[in-house]
Amino acid sequence: MAGPPIPDPEPRMRVRLRKPHACGGGSFVVGTTGADVRLFCEKCGAKIFIDRARWRTRAVEVLPAAPAAE
């Protein structure tokens, strides 16, 4: 049985995609949304753009928010 559906992307949302980034990082932060979704790799900071159709198939899990730096 599949898990709960992934919600629409929102800025600062942390997600895990189906495949990790080439640097080995597995978590991404949503930057801006629109026709495309801008993601930032949390490990290396690379920008990745995916369209909303790919968002629905590649986003696997919404991760809890990162703790705020003090």
User: Tens digits of per-residue pLDDT, 43-70?
Assistant: 999 999 999 999 989 999 999 987 765 5
- DSSP H or E run through 23: none
Domain boundaries, the chain: 14-62
Please give the structure tokens belonging to residue 8.
Answer: 């629409």
pTM of the entire structure? 0.84
Looking at the chain, the whole-number percentage of residues with pLDDT higher than 70 is: 90
Q: What is the mean pLDDT of the chain?
A: 89
**Amino acid residing at 16:** R
**From edge to edge, which strands make up the β-sheet containing 14-17?**
47-51, 36-41, 27-30, 14-17, 59-63
Helical residues (DSSP H) of 2-63, grouped into ranges? 52-58
